[in-house]
Amino acid sequence: MADSSIIATAPLGMHWPTLDPFLFCAYHKDAYPRGNSNMGVPREQLVGRDIGMDFSQKDGWSMYHGDEVPGFPRHPHRGFETVTLARQGFIDHSDSLGATARFGEGDVQWMTAGRGIVHSEMFPLLQSERGNPAELFQIWLNLPAAKKMVDPHFSMLWSGAIPRIRPAHRAGVELVMVAGMLDGALPPAPPPDSWASDPRSELRIWTLKLESVARWRLPSSASDLSRVLYFFSGNELRVAGQTVSAGHAIQLAPDAEVTVENDGEPAELLLLEGRPIGEPVARHGPFVMNTDAEIRQAMSDFQATGFGGWPWPSDGPVHARTEGRQARYPDGSLATPQLSEVAE
């Protein structure tokens, strides 16, 4: 029997609908071909694409804003955070602070743009003998007014440190927790100035996988949170007693326990939940502030300073093919999954 836990549903498009404190969510899944010597797409496979603005999914993949290597060459941000979940493939990060990273295989990069940063996110095609599948989420999380002009910062949440829960009493269920604890399992800390670092936020970013004939109960939360499930892979599920087809966002009452049941093919969902910041939002492209005057100031500051300039020889740097997963911070310190495991 259906209950009233579902507030609304909406189809998923290129950019998924979000609620405060979240600003934006995009899901990219690309079946890239084998890479050339520059870790890019062979030239003959670029024919017929709008290079620089290719979101076509022709042949199952897009170049986005890249010209040889897919991805997003240098662009600015101010006033919010990006949380990038790299489920398949790799992402090469470079920024105006002089920092770099290569991450993938379930790693998460959490970047606080604060007063302003310029970065690039390129998708190197490391495999030259076979295809290079890529899959990622990018989520934009707002910052409160008091934190919008903090120093920029990024943290790496390596996949080995992110809790993966497979409840013994719920066969066929896997929960991956990027933010927000459950049953004592605690993900790595978000950046210090993040809204997620404020205990009032009760922020949760989880992915959920249900095998065929599996069910899971989403626990209740505080009544003033926003809560949305994104059903992005599979066929059909029963959510709170209602049948929902894949490709939909499901806004849920946060103070209700919600049962998700799968009787069909394996299904995957993303949960975004948190307490709204509840402040005015003014946005223009990559800038998110509280007033239009602050947006105009952000544009002026970027034109005048470039948010620190760009220390790299190209707009979309790609790291050496032999580099593994790593992050080199502005102070020169190095982080890798292996070093993280040793520290723990």
* Range in 18-22, 226-230, 237-241, 340-344 with the lowest mean pLDDT: 340-344
pLDDT at 4: 80
pLDDT beyond 90 at 171:
no
213 inside domain: yes
Residues 87 and 201 in one domain: no
Can you give the pLDDT at residue 167?
Answer: 82
By CB atoms closer than 10 A (0-12, 13-18, 19+), residue 193 is buried
Burial of 342 (0-12, 13-18, 19+ CB in 10 A): exposed
Place of tokens 């032999």: 322
Q: 207, 261, 202: which is closest to 25 by C-alpha?
A: 207
- Give the three-class secondary structure for 272: strand
Collapsed DSSP state (helix, strand, coil) of residue 306: helix
Number of H helices, E strands in the chain: 2, 25
31-83 pLDDT, tens digit per residue, is 999 999 999 999 999 999 999 999 999 999 999 999 999 999 999 999 999 99
Residue ending a domain, among 160, 179, 208, is: 160
The answer on 268 and 211 residing in a single domain is yes
* CATH for 32: 2.60.120.10
* Residue 102 near residue 71 (C-beta atoms within 8 A): no
67 lies in the same domain as 190: no
Position 168 scores a pLDDT of 73
Residues 154 and 173 in one domain: no
Nearest-angstrom CA–CA distance, 239 and 4: 11
Round to whole Å and give the CA distance between 121 and 177: 23
Assigned domain for 321 exists: no
Is residue 12 domain-shared with residue 120, that is, in the same domain? Answer: no
Greater confidence (195 vs 344) lies with 195
Q: Does some domain include residue 334?
A: no
Identify whether 8 is part of a domain. Answer: yes
- For residues 85 and 62, what is the distance between their CA atoms, to the nearest angstrom? 18
What's the average model confidence in pLDDT over 294-309?
Answer: 97
- What is the count of structural domains for the chain? 2
Percentage of the chain beyond pLDDT 70 is 97
In terms of domains, do 229 and 118 share one? no
Domain for residue 326, yes or no? Answer: no
Check whether residue 80 and residue 120 sit in a common domain.
yes
174: domain range?
1-16+162-279
Which segments of the chain does DSSP mark as H helices, in order? 292-305, 337-343
The answer on pLDDT for 342 being more than 50 is no
Task: Please indicate, yes or no, whether residues 142 and 228 belong to a single structural domain of this protein.
Answer: no
User: For residues 342 and 154, which has the higher predicted lDDT (pLDDT)?
Assistant: 154
Q: What per-residue confidence (pLDDT) applies to 211?
A: 96
Q: Decide if 307 is inside a domain.
A: no
340 belongs to a structural domain: no
Q: Which of 145, 160, 175 is the last residue of a domain?
A: 160
**Does 150 lie in the same domain as 44?**
yes
Claim to verify: residue 52 and residue 116 sit in the same structural domain: yes
Counting Cβ atoms within 10 Å, is residue 331 exposed (0-12), middle (13-18) or buried (19+)?
A: exposed
Nearest 5°: phi and psi at 310?
A: -135, 105
Taking residues 11-37, what's their average pLDDT? 97
End-to-end CA distance of the chain: 46
pLDDT of residue 343: 42
What does the pLDDT average to over 185-203?
96
* Of 248, 279, 310, the domain-final residue: 279
What's the pLDDT at 1? 46
Does residue 168 form part of some domain? yes
pLDDT at 339 over 60: no
Are residue 35 and residue 50 in the same domain, yes or no? Answer: yes
- Which pLDDT tens digit goes with each residue over 96-148? 999 999 999 999 999 999 999 999 999 999 999 999 999 999 999 999 999 99
- In this structure, the answer to whether residues 148 and 27 fall within a common structural domain is yes
